[in-house]
Amino acid sequence: MVVKTKFFGELEISEKDIIIFDEGLPGFQDMHRYAVINDEDNPYISYLQSLEETNICFILIPPVFAYKDYDIEISDSTVKKLGIEKPEDVKLYAILTIPGNFKDATANLKAPIVVNVNNNKAIQEILDDEKYSIRHRIVKESDV
């Protein structure tokens, strides 16, 4: 199917790249269908493009890119809602915020996007773990 995207104009999107958020995302509860668009120039970045509103597109990274020892426990409720049977069924993403300069970019590690790769159902899981932040800096001050 051809979709209009925020950053890439019109793109052909395969059904396998469409994920469904039955509950929507926090703040976007009325939008349920998104496409994951991978960045060919940067394998660490993907885009979560709403199929219902062209201007809604989130930048995603694997959480381990921001926090190499990222290890979470997915709630029983999420496991049930997404139909997860084994750890290999899960793909995790963190939403990236870039306020103007990439050196100031942060990742939301407190609320990862959890996708069951077998059925493309997804949810944004809000973790009850204080070691992760909604604004985890990607570039450390010491690296600047």
* pLDDT, average across residues 16-45: 93
Instruction: Write out pLDDT tens, residues 35-52.
Output: 999 888 888 899 999 999
Q: What predicted TM-score, i.e. pTM, was given to this entire model?
A: 0.92
Concatenating the DSSP letter of every residue in 61-113 gives E-HHHH-TT------HHHHHHHT--SGGGEEEEEEEE--SSGGG-EEEEEEEE
* pLDDT, average across residues 12-30: 94
pLDDT of residue 41: 87
pLDDT of residue 16: 87
User: Which residue range forms the structural domain that includes residue 76?
Assistant: 2-143
Identify which has the larger pLDDT, 144 or 115: 115
Instruction: Write out pLDDT tens, residues 85-140.
Output: 999 999 999 999 998 888 899 999 999 999 999 999 999 999 988 899 999 998 76
When divided into structural domains, the chain yields a total of 1
Instruction: Write out pLDDT tens, residues 129-143.
Output: 889 999 999 876 545
| CATH code at position 137 | 2.30.290.10
Count helices and strands in the chain by DSSP H and E runs: 2, 10
Identify which has the larger pLDDT, 32 or 143: 32
